[in-house]
Structure 1
Amino acid sequence: MSFRSELQEFLIRGSVVDMAVGIVIGGAFGKIVTSFVNDILMP
């Protein structure tokens, strides 16, 4: 494989990992906001 195709494959894999991490963090943040609203703003 050429350097360019290897680099492209690496960047694609990196983007997938970054997207997965973002989804996990977003899900956790959503739960934190929901808990905050339910427990503090509307006890």
Structure 2
Amino acid sequence: SCQRQIPLVIMTSDDTHSRTLKLLESNAYFGMSSSQVILLKQ
């Protein structure tokens, strides 16, 4: 069987970008691969 990873895109701001990244890293991306998670700073 073929398993695909669904990307997760999270839009952040200057104020929230680093905190969001730290949260993801400290929680091992909540079970997702770090390559699945894309942070977009607006």
TM-score (norm 1): 0.33
Give the structure with higher Rg (CA).
1
TM-score (norm 2): 0.34
The structure whose residues are more often strand, as a share, is 2
The structure whose residues are more often helix, as a share, is 1
